Structure 1
Amino acid sequence: MENRAEKGEEASENVKITSQLLKAKTGEFDLESILLLKLRGLGISDLGCLGECAGLEWLDLSGNAISHLGPLSSLKALAVLNISSNRVSSLEPLAGCENLQSLNAAGNLLGGVQHLQCLVGLRHLENMRFANPMGRLSNPFCASPGYRAAIAEMFPGVKVIDGERVSGRGSELYQLCKDLDNSLKRFHSPGRAGHAELSGLSKPWVEEGYWDVRPARRSSIVEEAYKQFSEALQECRELSKRADDTISQAERALNIRPDANSYLF
């Protein structure tokens, strides 16, 4: 994976966040009144007075040149943070963001899973992203094949890592699809009977609307947070369709008649 910090991008990367910049972007004259803030791709290298936005709940700092997150430590209300595609090597200041629920830190310089230890006290943290294959973003520690399992063990309350559910509704789907892929590889070899593409006769893998999000409460911050999860949900939908096709092929290859009650593994 390529990190933005490894590409040597040098275009206008000395911007400091000032109260004038924040007021121009939001139209708010009181920094504490700002709830949502999008500062993507502005060449920001210094977070300046961002810590004065005490009421901030949703923050997008992606695509900048940020290496230090110090001012974020005072943002107690922050729930959703996107710092992807920056130059961050330490997440220590985020330990003060006691209400943080979703963190996207893909495309930075985090060297080891142990650098996440500072976040274990965040009781509301549920969604973490450190790699994004679609955007070719990663972190050095993502080169280790077992890093997701290590994160899941370190953060037992986290439900989604890199867009993949590791707990709660949906985790069984991912594991089952992986098992199906491994067990059915022998039927996909050239020349083997049943290798041809077959149309599925099995019933849908999940009921219609299974992946639809039903937030427990409605607010501007939750609305914005669920927009951030859209990519993960799309991956889930694609995986569900792939499971339907795989089960159908397995039934044909094993000469099993489709039975809605037979999907027990």
Structure 2
Amino acid sequence: MEAKMEKDQEKETPKVTSELLKSRSGEFDLESILFLKLRRLAIYDLGCIGECLNLERLDLSNNNLTHLGPLASLKQLAVLNLSANRVSSLEPLGSCDGLQSLNVAGNLLISVDSLQCLVGLRKLESLRLRDPVSNLSNPMCTTGAYRATILDVLPTVKVIDGERINGQGSDLYQLCKDIDSSLKRFLSNGPAEMNGGAKPWLEEGYWDLKPAQSTIIEEAYKQFNDVLQECKELSKRADDTIEQAERALDIRNDPDSYVF
């Protein structure tokens, strides 16, 4: 019985072969493959995937991977999805110089030390270790401060778990997050008394048009009217031309005539 179960398990955990890669990509040459999706195939061995030297985007999510050795040769790889596997070491990815986005949510990464091997990846900007929507995480995510620690190790990373941490837009994101938290507290506790009464968010006259804005709008309105007048004149000329043509051909008075 156990032998049969082991045999069935072997059938369900395939190894990546050139035939599999070619059939999935539609390419005859492995070096011609740029995008590859190998999701939910119960893959446990990456086999010859390292021969896809020009691969740029790779999706290996929801498999049985534990070792990533063959990925070390993929220097052009920019986007890699390894979510929902059994990976405990990212060491081979330290050689993927072009890596920009990495998703390893739902694996076995115990501590931030597992990310030390990524320090040399200067292009890495997005890193996902946790995905609440899919209920995927890593052991290291149990510590609330893991994101701050990641930034100490990988200062080039701008997005962690789908949230912009630094770089352009991070301040706006944090502001929206703070406002959202404040609104939730307000709704849960009920409206509180405010000293001096409620004050408007914006100063009086904030939405009034400034002189420069008014001039721009007036000029745009004038240009719109000019274009509209030209269109009306062109339409009138077209109607006159059609009417003249109809009279010349006497279409209206000839019931046997057809307009093509």
Structure (1 or 2) with the greater helix fraction: 2
Say whether the 8 Å CA contact 1:12–1:43 is kept in structure 2.
Answer: no
- In structure 1, runs of 5+ residues without a counterpart are 1-9, 195-249
1:1-265 mapped onto 2 (5 Å cutoff)? 13-181=12-180, 187-190=186-189, 192-193=191-192, 255-259=198-202
Greater Cα offset, 108-117 or 167-176: 167-176
Q: How far apart, CA to CA, are the structure 2 residues paired with 1:185 and 1:53? A: 49
Question: What residue identity is the alignment partner of 1:96?
Answer: S
Q: Give the secondary-structure state (helix, strand or coil) at the position aligned to 1:15.
A: coil
Distance 1:190 1:12, change over 3 A: farther
User: What's the CA shift for 1:28?
Assistant: 1.0
After superposition, give the CA deviation of every residue in 1:226-264 in whole Å (9 maximum; x if it has no partner): xxxxxxxxxxxxxxxxxxxxxxxx9xx9611231699xx
Distance 1:138 1:191, change over 3 A: closer
Q: Percent identity?
A: 61
Say whether the 8 Å CA contact 1:11–1:43 is kept in structure 2.
Answer: no
Q: How far apart, CA to CA, are the structure 1 residues paired with 2:28 and 2:122? A: 32
Equivalent residue pairs, number: 196
Q: Give the secondary-structure state (helix, strand or coil) at the position aligned to 1:103.
A: strand
User: What's the CA shift for 1:175?
Assistant: 2.2
User: What's the CA shift for 1:106?
Assistant: 0.4
> After TM superposition, which residue ranges in structure 1, 4 or more long, deviate above 6 angstroms?
none
Question: What residue identity is the alignment partner of 2:14?
Answer: V
Question: What residue identity is the alignment partner of 2:199?
Answer: I
User: What's the CA shift for 1:188?
Assistant: 3.0
Say whether the 8 Å CA contact 1:13–1:45 is kept in structure 2.
Answer: no
Say whether the 8 Å CA contact 1:132–1:162 is kept in structure 2.
Answer: yes
Say whether the 8 Å CA contact 2:81–2:102 is kept in structure 1.
Answer: yes
User: What's the CA shift for 1:168?
Assistant: 1.7
TM-score by length of 1: 0.68
Question: What residue identity is the alignment partner of 2:198?
Answer: N
Q: How far apart, CA to CA, are the structure 2 residues paired with 1:150 and 1:180? A: 25
Q: How far apart, CA to CA, are the structure 2 residues paired with 1:94 and 1:68? A: 11
Q: How far apart, CA to CA, are the structure 2 residues paired with 1:97 and 1:20? A: 24
Say whether the 8 Å CA contact 2:13–2:41 is kept in structure 1.
Answer: no
TM-score by length of 2: 0.69
Distance 1:133 1:73, change over 3 A: same
User: What's the CA shift for 1:183?
Assistant: 5.1
Question: What residue identity is the alignment partner of 1:41?
Answer: R
Question: What residue identity is the alignment partner of 1:188?
Answer: L
Distance 1:186 1:94, change over 3 A: closer
Q: How far apart, CA to CA, are the structure 1 residues paired with 2:93 and 2:203? A: 47
Question: What residue identity is the alignment partner of 1:74?
Answer: S
User: What's the CA shift for 1:47?
Assistant: 0.2
* Larger RCO (CA under 8 A, 6+ residues apart): 1
